[in-house]
Structure 1
């Protein structure tokens, strides 16, 4: 099983790298103009959202953001609000928005429930051998910075948003990703909540 997980991660890495090579860099100046009129209400003018239901996008990897906008527009990632927003954006618009947000600085965040930190730290750093759950930091890094063009930044993200995404991956309905669906399927609700709290405090 461990070998299968490693192969899945390797495949995702190679696919991400190949895809990234074909994407031209966006223009952050043009991206800011779109953000100010379209994205800021939910994600903040600098990509640091206030509402926990809306992800912080500041400092997220450019290619990852571009790919998510594409997924929303194609309906591969299900969200009625984002479908409407992304549908109005051209390919160049998406690249420009992704470029702008990637250059913003994420604000530091503290975990709201400190009691969940020990379990969250264990899941993030070493996983759960009993359920064959791999460590989150294997892909997302010790500080949650991810790997550009391969795995997204998760550090300083809203805990409620992280927990919701893990639940969606586990259900494999609104979000579909072979690797993350397998990872989330091995997690209990308590583990999801704990690791989400831990991730929110990473910086």
Structure 2
């Protein structure tokens, strides 16, 4: 079978390697496995960013429909990633700092970092600045579900909290504890 790129209805273009049978089989030769893993991690993160997917779980490997089906399953060659292989890819993403287990103390589901925590912190700071909400207390809900859709729309609370922590480290935010999940005050930049 010839290698060919395929564009999904969403506009995402799958790399040509996605049309190869061996790409979906966990490789045993270490150098081949390293290359395969690099291709998979890059594909997972770029697709997650394109589709705005924040979570990936081992159970996604078994689904022929759903948010991850377009990359974990290729109907043209009748191949899919096996759960054990996806679990290995997830572990690699975590080891590389490109994901973290959520909830903690399990190894089957991760929050993906298709942006670094510092990048998310900058997105949050820029959003607060652009919307004129610096130095005001914002609830997590206001950030996650703003009136006007933003890059922060739908961001999971654990990821939002980590982005806030990055702002706190640079003295640009203060976490506000509250009965309804809390909030944050983002300060004007001191740089």
**The TM-score by the shorter chain falls in which range?**
0.3 to 0.5
Structure number with bigger Rg: 2
Where is the strand percentage greater, Structure 1 or Structure 2? 2
TM-score normalised according to structure 1 size: 0.31
Looking at both structures, which has the greater relative contact order when contacts are Cα pairs under 8 Å and sequence separation is at least 6?
Answer: 1
Where is the helix percentage greater, Structure 1 or Structure 2? 1
